[in-house]
Amino acid sequence: MTNIGVYLKDDYFATDNLMLSGALRYDYFYSKIGKRRASDERPETSKVLDNASSKTQNILTRSISTVYFLNENFSLAANISHNFKAAKPSQMMQATPAGTGDNPTIPNIDLSNKTSQTYELGLRYSNANSFVGLTGFYTK
């Protein structure tokens, strides 16, 4: 599996106490698919794998966040992000005789990325020697 990614991020101080951040990331995945036929391979599995030679996936993720500095030690933070997890070749290519004879598990080369949205709120404390943060988040 080959992955090429481009990441852009910018921080902007709207005021002395308010920082806004935005980020974009584009990822391109390329997986080359090859195999040797197993002696006990089912015909359904052979057909799917014989028709697959490569798989490409791409996705754009993003986030926007803000930090409000209450004073020199305390700040409030908020973030909204769109996340993903690429399907690995091992997940797409799994084939087992699991289940009953009528319901085998066959490869799924069309398995796509998994995406999510995350919302975060946090309170942070920092000084010259330490940093402590308390963050709550919800991921959908």
Query: What pLDDT, in 10s, does the model give residues 88-121?
Result: 776 776 655 555 556 666 667 777 778 899 999 9
Closest to 49 in 3D by CA, of 109, 91, 97 = 109
The whole-number pLDDT of residue 51 equals 66
The whole-number pLDDT of residue 31 equals 77
Query: What pLDDT, in 10s, does the model give residues 52-89?
Result: 667 788 889 999 999 999 999 999 999 999 998 877 77
Written as one letter, the residue type at 64 is I
Query: What pLDDT, in 10s, does the model give residues 7-57?
Result: 999 999 999 999 999 999 999 988 776 666 666 667 776 676 666 667 788
Taking the whole predicted model, whether its pTM rises above 0.95 is answered as no
The whole-number pLDDT of residue 134 equals 97
- In sign, the C-alpha dihedral spanning 31, 2, 111, 89 is positive
Cα–Cα distance measured from residue 12 to residue 128, given in angstroms and rounded to the nearest whole number: 23
